[in-house]
Amino acid sequence: MRAMTLVMGGARSGKSAFAQKLAIESNKEVIYIATAESRDSEMELRIANHKRSRPSHWHTIESPMNIGRAVANYPHQSSLVLLDCMTLLVSNILVSFQEEISEEIVETKVFSELNSLISCYHELDDEWVIVSNEVGLGIVPAYPLGRLYRDLLGKVNQKLAEVSNRVYFMVAGLPLVVK
């Protein structure tokens, strides 16, 4: 049965653990989409910890971008797709540009990725759980790139919340129902 759940919160709020709990409780085949890339030893450790935290029988697709295509091309029956996380997906797109470019071009690429993901969701009979950070509650970033990132992720989260059947906001490991 097609349904989308968005799990949002701040850093270390329990988003991933709660999303994994939802996936386990679904009793469905789980396709885990990992968007993180190991660019340094600290990130390698984070990725290793994430891998250890999820069941070994889950199918993992490591895809820093092009999520819709990755899921659509993955052979599976009706499943639960757990995307962890939109935060890094938007960051991956932002840093994929080697030179300074206009905000419009970056936003176009981010929303192309998002629309592809949403189209894939509508085409398949999978349940989706998407993890994303809420980055709009803190201070205004000091640099233009940080502000662009915050603004883009905020817009992405709004669109995902609109499409989602359920939205949770995580605070200190506790899920608050938003929608």
Q: Where in the sequence numbering do the catalytic residues fall?
A: 50
Q: Are 8 and 132 in contact (CB under 8 A)?
A: yes
Are the C-beta atoms of 121 and 52 separated by less than 8 Å? no
- At 21, give phi and psi (nearest 5°): -60, -45
User: In the numeric block, which tokens belong to residue 101?
Assistant: 């470019």
C-alpha to C-alpha distance for 87 and 154, rounded to whole angstroms:
10
Q: Give the C-alpha separation, 143 to 171, whole Å.
A: 27
